[in-house]
Amino acid sequence: MNTLSTQEIISKLEETSIILIDVRPIAAYNGWALQNEQRGGHIPGAKSIPLQWTQYMDWVEVLEEKNINKEKAVVVYGYDEEQSAGMAKRLIDLGYSDVGVYNTFIEEWVGNPDLPLDQLPRFKHLVYPEWVKMLIDKQKPLHYTNGDYVLCHSHYDHIADYHKGHIPGAIPMDTNSLESPETWNRRSPEELRETLLKLGIRHDTTVVIYGRFSSPVYNEEKFPGKSAGHLGALRCAAIMLYAGVEDIRILNGGITSWETEGFDLTTDEYKPTPVEDFGKEIPVHPEYMIDMPEAKQLLASDKGELVSIRSWEEFIGNRSGYHYIEKKGRIPGAIFGNCGSDAYHMENYRNFDHTMREYQEVASAWEEGGITPDKHVAFYCGTGWRGSEAFMNAWLMGWPNVSVYDGGWYEWCNDPENLIKAGVPEKQVSTTNSTTVNL
């Protein structure tokens, strides 16, 4: 095991002769200064594999997914020598022959403002369990100066999920209060205002939101969405951004990350404290949600893309994906953005611990399919949940012109004037984490 200096790291990065692995928590990789270091973020090009992941059997599969092969030199760094040595030993045990450690990352790399660090542009809005714990314990977590916050436990018409156990202080938020069960589109501005006021949310309230991950079985459950609480939380976050909530904070990994840290849940019920005025006219950001006319304009434009965040089986028309949608197929002209296995999972956008996938991986996969930040990109799925999670990924990356096509496949296929396609497209481009298709 070699110990590399800062200059050696710089030289090898210029030669692209090494793979760097950042073994700190994902929050640190994204930009949080978890140990009060001078700057937050990671060395450009480094891969995120938190040391904590190695306690799971599945972690070895991550090496393959990230193309970390045994033929190339691997260098590990973390907050301290113990972290880097711990990961290096595991790699050596797996048969990696050229493994090094970089032990002066904090002192020499972070401490030198002339050396670059990459960050998730809006990392402050993707929080971690300790941040939430400090907030509810009336301490001042990093990058928080507000005195008004609401902690929300998201569920879809399934209050029993809240009563099963939630983070202390959290109030229940039913996705149905923000979207209509008739159309599954966002509710009207008046209805959104009424909901937010009842929940005690103004435009300048910090809203911290999360849900519970589970693995619903489509063929065995009449309403699989009732089990996809954290996916619903991302849907709520997107709608609240549209409405005008200025400070949305998403607990990365949902309630699973809270439990993984050993923090307690409670069954105590918490009631919201209603407010009288949202403070701004809803929607503050109408551009975050588009409807069918705008979706058609986007399909006809060379400056935008409509991206289908659906499974391959849905996209080629083998199944609709939902019990309540009969028609099968896809919107002609849309790009395939592959969510994962079905309408209630987002495997290609999440790590195996349910945290958001390394953002460069998502951006790289999108780029291979022609999905780039210089275009107006609108994401859609069946009814808005998966499209909203992809939207939140792009929003966290700071992409300037992103939307959710709110009506999605449900709205599109129910208009008899709209064309529908099925079958495997003629042009197909494979990407790292998914299969992206241009029609």
User: Residues in the chain, how many?
Assistant: 439
pTM of the model: 0.95
- For residue 384, give the nearest of 108, 193, 186, 210 by alpha carbon: 186
Pick from 284, 318, 350: which residue ends a domain?
A: 284
Question: Which two structure tokens, joined as six digits, stand for 32?
Answer: 């949080």
Within this chain, do residues 329 and 235 fall inside the same structural domain, yes or no? no
pLDDT (0 to 100) of residue 427: 65
pLDDT (0 to 100) of residue 225: 64
pLDDT (0 to 100) of residue 432: 38
Domain count, the chain: 3
Residues designated as active site: 381
Distance CA 14, CA 257 (A): 36
CATH number for the domain harbouring residue 28: 3.40.250.10
Residue 435 pairs with which residues in a beta bridge? Answer: 430
Query: How many C-beta atoms lie closer than 10 Å to residue 328's C-beta?
Result: 18
Pairing of strands 73-77, 18-22: parallel
Distance CA 421, CA 171 (A): 43
pLDDT (0 to 100) of residue 433: 45
Within this chain, do residues 235 and 134 fall inside the same structural domain, yes or no? yes
What residue ranges of the chain have pLDDT lower than 70? Answer: 215-227, 427-439
pLDDT (0 to 100) of residue 430: 40
Q: How far does the chain reach from its first CA to its final CA, in angstroms?
A: 49
Within this chain, do residues 271 and 165 fall inside the same structural domain, yes or no? yes
pLDDT (0 to 100) of residue 436: 40
Per-position DSSP letters for 282-328, written without gaps between them: SPS-GGGEE-HHHHHHHHH-SSEEEEE-S-HHHHTTS--SSTT----
Domain that holds residue 97: 2-119
Within this chain, do residues 260 and 190 fall inside the same structural domain, yes or no? yes
Pick from 284, 301, 327: which residue ends a domain?
A: 284
pLDDT (0 to 100) of residue 343: 79
Spacing of C-alpha 234 from chain mean position:
8
Within this chain, do residues 419 and 292 fall inside the same structural domain, yes or no? yes
pLDDT (0 to 100) of residue 429: 43
Pairing of strands 247-251, 206-210: parallel
Within this chain, do residues 297 and 430 fall inside the same structural domain, yes or no? yes
